[in-house]
Amino acid sequence: MRRIVSFGPAFVVLTCAVVVLFAVPSAIRAITAARTRATVTLAQQRLDQDDVLVRLNAAVRDIALSVEPSVVHVDVGGRREGRASSGSGWVWDDAGHLVTNAHVVAGADRISVQFHDGQTSRATLVGMDPLSDIAVLRVEPGPHLVPARRAVGERVFKGDRVFAFGSPFGFKFSMSEGIVSGLGRSARTAMGFAGFSNFIQTDAAVNPGNSGGPLVDVRGRLVGMNVAIATAQDTRGSTEGQSAGISFAIPLAMIESRVPQLIAGGPVLSGYLGITFSAENIPGGSLRRGVEITALAENGPGRAAGLAVGDLITSIDGTTITGPEVLRGVISASSPGQDVELIVLRAGESLTLRVTLGEYPRAARSAELQSELFREFGLSLRDVREGAVIWDVLEDTPASVCGLERGLILFSVEGARVADAAEAASALLAQGLLAGKPVSVRVRASDGQERDLVLRSAPD
């Protein structure tokens, strides 16, 4: 009997322990679940009462609705080897002019565009500028054309929200969102060189196929045109690979200065300051940046306006000059005869000068194009009466591999006559040579024999 009585309290304690072990956690879980449900209910109520995100969604949808009708998908057929590619573009005006990248349509013999409603049209190339990687197409006018709104005269700031449109990897009329990550960037485009850059950097998802598509602000106004991306393999700028969160766009100011000239059919003219410069910090170790003038053209606009060797240019028309690319981009986006305001530092004193820009010399433009040909293809040209003479060909370069030799006269590019070395270089680049497209040239030897050769990039 004592044995049974002595085990009673222990059994009661054990039973209580078991109850506590299982019941208490269940109770805690029930309390936690109740609190979670209460938290969810309160959060849902706040979301229902505060429509800030609903309004943000509605605003972004309105951007898509207002911009998409201005976007076009561009399909391109190449001259040889069944080459085909695609990109993007946008409507410039009611007359049927469209804008895209020069590298999208370089070397094409067939261009077709598709609008947001599915309608397709054949497009003709009006003109292109390889240095800025801008091209203008034209289709027949019609009610389906909705010109893009452009933020003319508006400045873009780091941190501004932007939206990129285009056909990444062929997914037509796509839209991505990001912010302006930086300004005044220099990058190589698919035309093969930076040319006149001063690009806008964004983190919007941009991939192959976005080239030529519009970059718009929070009001759906165009502020730039997608042109290149940086990848882990090529941080200088490319149209190959996948988005790594760094993309580049041509600023609207550059587009506005080029497109009307291309539509008019005349040569593309750029502003000219008439200075030689280098990137230097202000003497004395200041962290403020600028571009120092090292020389002035004898009869150039800069000298006439009072600029002097040693002046440090820190701003042009309100744009901070952080390096040579920014200065070059701002000036080249301006037009000959345009007045610009410069802020310079001279002997520690800040001065404001107004300069009437001149016209960028044709010889300087030609020298740039020919420098790219020599660097990328080992080909040097000089002027002769019949066209352009092959002045030099480096061994084991694309130029030597294709059969070009010193002394040959290059007088035709893709069947079109060229008058001199500058015209030959411009035609080669306009046909997409630096974008990887093969270009046919016709040459004449000293004995009068003519032959056709195909100049192409070296294989990777």
DSSP string, 71-131: EEEEEEEESSTT-EEEEEEEE--TTSEEEE-HHHHTTEEEEEEE-TTS-EEEEEEEEEETT
pLDDT at position 285 over 50: no
Q: Determine how many CB atoms are found less than 10 A away from the CB of residue 429.
A: 28
Give me the mean pLDDT over the 57-79 stretch: 92
Residue 199 near residue 189, CB atoms below 8 Å: no
pLDDT tier for residue 236 given thresholds of 50, 70 and 90: very low
pLDDT score recorded for residue 179: 96
| Unique residue bearing structure tokens 């200088």 | 236
Q: How confident is the model at residue 67 (pLDDT cuts 50, 70, 90)?
A: very high
- 447 versus 88: the higher-pLDDT residue is 88
Q: Say which residue the tokens 């690319």 belong to.
A: 325
> Mean pLDDT across the stretch 261-273?
87
For residue range 191-205, what is the model confidence (pLDDT) as tens digits? 445 456 678 999 999
Work out the pLDDT band at 139, boundaries 50, 70, 90. very high
Beta carbons of 221 and 149 less than 8 angstroms apart: yes
Q: What is the pLDDT of residue 230?
A: 67
Catalytic site positions: 103, 133, 211
Say which residues have a Cβ less than 8 Å from residue 178's Cβ, sequence separation at least 6: 161, 162, 163, 164, 202, 203, 204, 205, 247
Q: Are 231 and 244 in contact (CB under 8 A)?
A: yes
Per-residue pLDDT at 18: 66
The fold for domain 271-359 equals Pdz3 Domain (2.30.42)
pLDDT at position 234: 46
355-369 pLDDT, tens per residue? 999 988 877 777 777
Does 61 score more than 50 pLDDT? Answer: yes
| pLDDT at site 237 | 46
Spatial separation of the C-alpha atoms in residues 73 and 278, rounded to whole Å = 41
Give the mean pLDDT of 7-20. 68
pLDDT at residue 81 is higher than 70? no
Given a contact cutoff of 8 angstroms between Cβ atoms, the answer to whether 77 and 83 are in contact is yes
Q: Average pLDDT, stretch 167-189?
A: 86
pLDDT of 284 above 50: no
* DSSP percent split of the chain into helix, strand, coil, nearest 5: 30, 35, 35
% of the chain beyond a pLDDT of 90: 37
Residues 392-437 pLDDT 10s = 888 888 888 888 888 989 889 988 888 888 888 888 877 777 666 7
CA 445 to chain CA centroid, nearest Å = 41
Nearest Cα to Cα of residue 248 among 191, 290, 324, 314: 191
pLDDT category of residue 242 using cuts at 50, 70 and 90:
low
Closest CA to 386 of 400, 407, 372: 407
CATH of domain 363-455: 2.30.42.10
* Domain 57-260 grouped into CATH 2.30.40.10: no
Q: So what's the pLDDT on residue 119?
A: 93
Contact 78, 106 (CB under 8 A): no
Instruction: Tell me the pLDDT tens digit for each residue of 379-402.
Output: 888 888 777 888 888 888 888 888
